[in-house]
Structure 1
Amino acid sequence: MASASSLQARLSAALPQGVDVVAYHISTPPTSASALFAPVPGQSEETTHCESHFLAISSPQRDDVKEVIVFAIEILIFTTQSLTTLFVSKADSAGFSSRLNAPRQSPSVVAAITATFIEYLLGPRLSTTRVILSLFARSQNQYLFPGSIENAGKHVLDDCQLIKWWCRVTDRVLRLYSDKTDPPFRSTAHLVVPGCDKAETRAFFPASSRQDLPSDPVWINSYPVELLVADTSRPPRHLVPRLPDDPKSRFLDDLDGDFMDNGGRWRSVKNLDQFWEMMSYRQECSAGRLVGFLWLVFSQGQTSHASLADLDQASYMGNTVAALAQESLPTPGNSPLGEDGDLPVQPQPLSELEMIGELTSPPSSSPLERVHEELRNGSAEESTARASSILAGAATNREPSQELSQQYQETQGELVLDAAQYQTLMNHLLQTDFAGEELAAANTKSWIQKALELSSIPRFGIPIRGRYVVAESGGLEKSALPQVNVLTGIRKKRKAEAVDDGTAALDTTPNPSAPAVNTLAAGLLRKKPRS
């Protein structure tokens, strides 16, 4: 319930005053899942855990007005030893946002809820090595609410509008973490729109990107493969994640079905550039609409992103040093008895810095050299077993199970279901009908009752009252408006106002109600000389 209260406080602070909603947050505990990246032939899949988070927002019941779900979003979180990926699986509105009675000048309620929920799930996980927020923007009539396209209040954005909307919403989260925050972060956004060149893709970037230094851009037109995969020399099928219900995942499956040799290479697509070029010809990306693929990358304590290979190497070395340090400390279990049956004199324990110094001093100046030393001493079987034990201990220490459990507990839903129950509840929602308020209200009630039935809890749903005060200007300060260069107050020249040097007369009297502008002073415009 603590996590629910935290989400409640965040949503309350983000929603405008006068907006009352009920939030339904459902989650599943981390469970084993298929790896996002296909393993190289002959290698096992990377250990991966997945947890699901679903947030539904409804307009509360008032007198004779029934409760109706107005918006919902699903986010899946995949965790491996070196990478945490938050994937926005689905987001959809039901066409009843007007029931929230938001102030006329207030920002988008749906955008505020979306950004807040993403940041709520993202925050506790930013302490891990590398965190990715991934999504694809594809315009569609309905995702979560069958029949909702028939509601007059549902505003479906076209492909370009939807990509820009997601860029603006995620930029709010991105700007929360930078080199100026404590702790500092290197945070970048990477956008790929198959079929669009770099100039066309930049048109989708949020307005804030124009304030970033060209030498250090925050928004980039690229697929950040080196930030997602440790070995980028692998064939392209091993460099692109397979996320649920994702257009590129379906393309990967089709390429695997056409041809794949023993080394995991395709016949038609040889590299990532060809993969993204071919994506532009897929029906999902070429049937008169665009699809945007977006990745937000967060690296804590860095001024520039290190490749995942470098991070993996640093993590491996650090954990191996810790394992070797533990092995080097004498204990009753590994200290042999003396000839008289007495324990030898126990040396004083070393400090952490002294241990590192001992481990990094010659002749063994690195963990790998320590392994080689073990192999050189004793019999081959004993040495091999000893070296394997050291590396296995380091690998065990790198398992994120305890940290993953703590992260989940901080953000678990008000209602916790297992994977099977969660899927049952999602299927129930996808089989409802939200065409019209009467059907939507009936199916909202049906979905809530199904959740209570699966969980066996007496009540479900957290009421939230908005506290955000909306400024008269709609939340946008005049100082934030871009400065423009215009000619103001130009009047037709009159004979009495003709100036001896032939310049046109400009009215430069400032207008106190107009935004600050740069004006051209008199004397800079000259008449064309008569021939």
Structure 2
Amino acid sequence: MQDVWSKRIVVGKSLTVYYLQSESEKCHNLFGKSKKSKDFKFASHLFLVKENDVLVFGMECIVYKRLNKSIIFVAKVDSSGLGTHPASSSGLAASAIETVIDTQYKEGAVEVEVTLFAISQGQYLFPESSENGHKRVLSDSGLLHWWVKCLEMIRKDYNPDEEQINEAKEKKSSAEISSPVTDKHLAYMFVPGLPSLRSYLPNSFWKQGTAIQQGKAVDMIPRYPDDPKARYLYELQDQRSEMSVAEFWDTLSFRQECCSGKLVGFYSLILPRRLEKAEFPGNKTSGFGLVLPPKLYRIIYDSLIKHSFRSPSIASQSTKTFLDETIAAIQRVDGFTMEKVAQTIDGNAQPAPPKKREPELSQTLNVLQPRKKKK
């Protein structure tokens, strides 16, 4: 576990990572009334990162599992804006997601999909943090590039670059090369209303569009918490619509959820397991992440989003109060140790050379500008 975080934290700096999970629960409605919803279970994963005495980064993922397939839905990502940037927010997000990916592989997953939708709000996990004077708004292109940058970090860690693919093809027949090598389209990006994403896609592993492209929309497209496309799917379900997946994505840009000034970016990263990396040496996650009863997990989550981060001093006090209350609430859970809950990670990444500052999640995610409807 240490390596996946420390390689993205500047040498000489350290951060404390907190990790809590919920026990698995049955999930009956991920795909509406479709048979695909059967037997799915879900569990929540919460990561919080503290620098000195204040929380600086947070992420919640929800993992949906059935048989040997895991879907990691990135529900919320936020920064308080109060850190000194010993690591980029995109790097911390990638490390958190990779910790969950690694856990899924160790538990027997054959395929893992990371999926999310990006939409702007002033804050997600740290209330009033947009008022503390340290968060600045991302530009439209910054929002798109930030998520591509984050997911591309993950893709590179689990899949070879194109140069490695060419070398592999020279040494082996195509039948001998594992599927991630031959299937370049591992990452998908779709922004309703934007006809071309060419300038945002970094290489041929990325494809403009969505991972789900065939079948009936109400049966094939999942519905996640706070999902801007879910209401549309429920309407189609009530109407017993036969709309196809392709028609759904084509018409989504004209829905109020995606054309009222807040366009949404949809992302998917498909990671089939590569046998030669089955053990993922150096990325050990076993023993980290205390598993809580679902009710207790929700109490802790609800407590977090009630604390203010509107100034450095208030955020520092909120951090102390929240962590003290959380430790008191979980210390009687079976298997509790502080090492399971929190680990201090020392950085070993070399500082990046000075360059033009790139947008980070310490700024508030800005909305995407909608396209103008044709008259």
| Global fold match (TM > 0.5) | yes
Report the counterpart of residue 41 of structure 2 in structure 1.
49
Counterpart for residue 32 of structure 2: 38
Aligned match of 1:238: 219
Which of 231, 239, 255 aligns to 1:260? It is 239
Distance change (3 Å), C-alpha of 1:250 and 1:195: same
Of 138, 143, 159, the match for 1:178: 159
**Aligned equivalents of 1:121 and 1:23: distance in 2?**
14
**Aligned mates of 1:35, 1:48 — CA distance in 2:** 9
Match of 2:69 in 1: 83
Give aligned pairs, total: 323
2:347 maps to 1:463: no
Q: What's the CA shift for 1:164?
A: 1.4
* Alignment match, 1:73: 59
Aligned positions of 1:136-147 closer than 5 A:
136-147=117-128
| Aligned twin of 2:11 | 17
Of 293, 296, 321, the residue aligned with 1:446 is: 321
* Cα distance change of structure 1 residues 45 and 246 upon mapping to structure 2, 3 Å threshold: closer
CA distance in 2, matches of 1:55, 1:410: 13
The match for 1:229 is none
Report what 1:95 is aligned to. Answer: 81
Cα displacement string for residues 362-403 of structure 1 (whole angstroms, at most 9, x for unaligned residues): xxxxxxxxxxxxxxxxxxxxxxxxxxxxxxxxxxxxxxxxxx
Give the 3 Å change call, closer, same or farther, for CA 58–178 of structure 1 in structure 2: closer
Change (3 A) 1:412 1:238: farther
- Is the contact made by 1:138 and 1:159 (CA closer than 8 Å) also made in structure 2? no
Higher strand fraction (1 or 2):
2
User: 1:90, CA displacement in angstroms?
Assistant: 0.4
Residue 200 of structure 2 is aligned to residue 204 of structure 1: yes
Query: Of residues 189, 192, 204 in structure 1, which corresponds to 2:190?
Result: 192
Match of 2:102 in 1: 123
TM-score, normalisation: structure 2: 0.78
Question: 8 Å contact 1:75–1:86 — kept in the other structure?
Answer: yes
| 1:277 correspondence with 2:250 | yes
Return closer, same or farther for 1:48/1:411 CA change in 2, 3 Å cut-off.
Answer: farther
Q: Which residue of 1 aligns with 2:131?
A: 150
How far, CA to CA, are the matches of 2:223 and 2:206 in structure 1? Answer: 24
Look up the equivalent residue of 2:111 and give its one-letter code. R
Which runs of 5 or more residues in structure 2 are unaligned? 169-176, 276-283, 356-375
- Asked whether the equivalents of residues 114 and 270 of structure 2 are also in contact (C-alpha less than 8 Å), the reply is yes
- Whether the 8 Å CA contact 2:99–2:285 is kept in 1: the answer is no
1:29 aligns with one of 23, 30, 44: 23
Q: How does 1:103-118 map to 2 (within 5 A)?
A: 109-118=88-97
Cα distance in 2 for partners of 1:461, 1:176 equals: 24
Q: Once the two structures are aligned, what percentage of the paired residues are identical?
A: 26
How far has the Cα of 1:18 moved from its partner?
3.0
Alpha carbons of 1:13 and 1:143: their partners in 2 closer, same or farther (altered >3 Å)?
Answer: same
Describe the shift of the 1:115–1:413 C-alpha distance in structure 2 as closer, same or farther (beyond 3 A).
same
What is the match of residue 415 of structure 1? 290
Say whether 1:427 aligns with 2:302.
yes
Mind listing any 5+ residue stretches in structure 1 that lack a counterpart? 1-5, 61-66, 103-107, 210-216, 227-231, 303-408, 475-531
CA RMSD in angstroms comes to: 2.7
